Amino acid sequence: MDKREAIGSWLSGPRATAEQAGVAFGYRGEDLGLPEEGPGSIARPGRRLGALVADWAMSVLIASQLITQSYDQTTSNWALLVFFVMGALTVGTVGFTPGKRLFGVRVVAQDTGRVNPWRGLLRTALLCLAVPALIWDRDGRGLHDRLARTVEVRI
């Protein structure tokens, strides 16, 4: 192998090197049996982040206007409680929060397709801890989704 081949393989990155070695990565959600694109495919990070921001903004608005009557230091604690209750109730029953619905995202159970209330409660509790949501796998699922055995898909 001459220098140009060595530099070329290094510049083309790990995917090209893995493909040359015969390893196929596939698309996100392929191992879960989900389609590559369209409804039912893994929701992209932008949609999921937008839904999270919308849900958090709604929680802060509810906490500041209905509970504390102003925005002060305790509002963020109340907002987290509102966020938790809203997420646990809506994900565990209909499969999406208002923000997820707005951004076209739905939470489904990995095995049955429908999230039961206990899975919704576990998933939301782990999401409120924040750290599990920041650890992702190859499919883009957070640790909170893996532990609750759920997947966020496009509607």
Q: Is the pLDDT of residue 7 over 70?
A: no
Q: Is the pLDDT of residue 48 over 90?
A: yes
Provide Rg for the chain, Cα atoms. Answer: 20
| C-alpha dihedral sign at 22, 153, 136, 12 | positive
- Write the burial class of residue 1 (CB in 10 Å: 0-12 exposed, 13-18 middle, 19+ buried): exposed
**What SS3 class is residue 110?**
coil
The stretch 109-138 carries a mean pLDDT of 92
Q: Give the pLDDT score at 68.
A: 77
- Tens of pLDDT along 54-86? 999 999 999 988 887 777 778 889 999 999 999
Going by C-alpha positions, the residue among 109, 138, 150, 117 that lies closest to residue 29 is 138
Q: Is the pLDDT of residue 26 over 80?
A: yes
Where are the domains positioned within the chain? 1-27, 31-154
